[in-house]
């Protein structure tokens, strides 16, 4: 068993996103995502199922061109898809990629 304090974790920018992975197993990996005000993540082709949970702030996500706004304490589950994200005022999320079986 391992406990992680997501509020205490340092998040790296999108270009260094692999440094944000804090737990990885064969079936999934988990990362912290932090976007500054006006920040964005460009469209990414995800071959895995993805779960996003908003820890703080608000983010607009696009999943296969369908947009949704996620607010603090909300989560989103997706099938493999093309996903992008942006925020006006900043956001901190946890993202979990789950291998498609």
Instruction: Name 86's Cβ contacts closer than 8 Å, sequence gap at least 6.
Output: 35, 39, 40, 41, 59, 60
Residue 60 CB neighbour total at 10 angstroms: 15
**What is the residue-wise DSSP string for 42-66?**
EEEEESSEEEEEEEEEEEEEEETTE
Which residue stretches of the chain have pLDDT < 50?
Answer: none
pLDDT, tens digit, 9 for 90 and up, residues 4-29: 999 899 999 888 989 999 999 999 99
Q: What domains sit in the chain, N to C, each tagged with a CATH number?
A: 21-98 (2.60.120.10)
Q: Catalogue the E-assigned strands of 1-101.
A: 21-24, 28-35, 40-46, 49-63, 66-71, 75-78, 81-86, 91-98
Query: What is the value of pTM for the model shown?
Result: 0.92
């Amino acid at each position: 068993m391992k406990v992680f304090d997501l509020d205490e974790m340092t998040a790296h920018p999108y270009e260094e996103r692999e440094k944000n992975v804090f737990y990885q197993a064969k079936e999934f990996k988990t990362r912290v995502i932090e976007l500054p005000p006006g920040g964005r993540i460009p469209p990414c082709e995800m071959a895995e199922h993805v779960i996003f949970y908003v820890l703080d702030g608000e983010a607009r996500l696009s999943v296969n061109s369908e947009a949704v706004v996620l607010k603090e304490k909300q989560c989103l589950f997706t099938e493999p898809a093309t996903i992008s994200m942006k925020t006006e005022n900043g956001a901190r999320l946890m993202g979990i990629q789950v291998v498609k079986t």
